[in-house]
Amino acid sequence: MPSTENDLNIDVDGYIGTITLNRPTRKNAFTTPMLHTWAAALRDFQLNDHVRVVVVRGAGDAFCAGADLGDLSELDRSPLSTRKLMSEHVHQVARAVDDLTKPLIAGIHGPAIGAGMDMALMCDYRIASDRARLSEGYIRVGLVPGDGGCFYLPRLIGSSRALRLLWTGETVTAEHALNWGIVDEVCSADDFDTRLHTFAQQLAAQPPAAIQMIKTAVRQSDSGDLRAALDLIASHQAVAMATSDSVEALAARTDKRSPVFEGR
């Protein structure tokens, strides 16, 4: 499934779909056309039963430097036009992520700045190399976080720490980000590619229906109460137990072999 957009490479290898931001000379800063391709890829991966896990990463030495300010400088800066830009173009990636029931992993091997950090925050799991640097740098150019930073960051690290990073625009190291819970793992730059691929493969080897139902249940628990969460999980469990993958998991355990899941 190769992409026709050179600035954004999209491919499927085994059960893993990968979106690679491919503007290394611009630190993978994204343009408006890239956002359309990015969102479309996420929607395609959601509908593709062969894809079980999605990875987002950058080419070169950066994850993403946010929006390409050169691209934005050519746009009409009127309030209505700016709101339309955000809601119809920039935010479509966040909406596509919100619709994705499959695991979404961010591979952060270098700087993730502004909207680039937001794009990492909206993923389910973040693996960083020790060379990663993260910053909600909007304040430095007189802007507010435009791609969900005010929504995602407090949910990960609490409101006071989030406000500090959003107010100051300061840059945090990979180790600092790990200690605060902004990223979930840090590995050496030499081991980064291997670790990212190994973790994606580990998730892809699990029963996909159960993986997706777990993600849905965890997400919905953020805004629901205990009784609603238990009611939902009871329905999920009924579906999971009826799948062929559940039967295969039990058989493999009995036979002391590795299970082979087919997603049904």
Domain count, the chain: 2
Q: Is 168 in the same domain as 77?
A: yes
The pair phi, psi for residue 213, each rounded to 5°, is -65, -35
Identify whether residues 176 and 196 lie together within a single domain. yes
Same domain, 194 and 65: yes
**CA angle 111-115-118, nearest 5°?**
85
Query: pTM above the 0.75 mark?
Result: yes
Mean pLDDT (10-residue bins), the chain, 264 residues: 68 97 96 95 97 98 90 70 86 97 98 97 98 96 92 97 98 98 98 98 97 94 83 86 86 89 86
Question: What are the structure tokens assigned to 165, written together?
Answer: 């990073």
Q: Is 93 helix (H, G, I), strand (E, B) or coil?
A: helix
**143 & 228 share domain:** no
192 and 131 together in one domain: yes
